[in-house]
Structure 1
Amino acid sequence: MTGVCGLKIKETKVQLRDILSKQKNAPDYKKIQALYLMKTGQVTTVIEVSELLGVHRVTVQKWFKKYRDQGIDGLLTSKKSTGRPSVVSASTLSDLKEKLTSSNSFKSYEDVYKWLQKNHGVDVNYKTIYGLLRYKLNVNLESIDSDRRIV
């Protein structure tokens, strides 16, 4: 019979139900639900599973292959997206933070730009410097200037 899956599921129905109840994100929940549907006999083909869960049949096939190869733990592990790497390295950021706390040498974001370019060879635009100082380091150069004027 075409499409019938010959997947041998090691876990019992009760174990799968327990694992299913512990899932916190939708993709992992669907993966365990696919195994549970197969184990309980509610579905017999990959196409039936894919239609019930609202995913493509190839996705279900990939889940089952991963389960066959790595077991339930391998099925539930997923890669974390690292995102785009920062233009300013962690060491440069720590140097900048140290420079900001040790002295009030920066009067403007342009001063920071020049310092980054001269000392670390980092060429970034104004928005990047502003975001870096304002949101990562919690520094507002205008407040530093206003503090100097008061004193």
Structure 2
Amino acid sequence: MYNLPDVAESAETLERLVRKEKDAQIQRRFQMLLLLKTGEAKSRSGAARQLDVHRHTVSDWLELYEEGGIEKIQEVGDPGPEPGQKSIPPEVVEALKDRLAEPEGFGSYTEIQQWLAEEHGIELPYSTVHGIVRYEIGAKPKVPRPSHPKKTSRSK
């Protein structure tokens, strides 16, 4: 089990910080420190359960606290990519649509994945490629399959 850091601030100071903080993310971090200071939470997992966050989140917050105390724990990082940000540039999506429209298409989503890497230098997980092709573009990889002889020769 990991050692918990000593919380330097008093329980009263932490209670005041929790009450007056407007940002819910930072307020939760102060609450975590308060839980640890008062002994209401005896572990990272215990604090995580009470705050309804993952234990790794609590570990990350405690790491920030150990690095720079109460000031550092108030730093909120970037939330990640903007909503609607695309993993494939629009011009590559167009090239992919054109290629999917060709009669030979692709043999599989893995083939599409390889084509994106080789032709456009875009490395994406299989699930991302599948999601984009199937649900955003609304296509499927297609390979012409031999037709059954009885289907093609109709007797008159």
Normalised to the residue count of structure 1, the TM-score between the two structures is: 0.50
Instruction: Name the one with the larger helix percent.
Output: 1
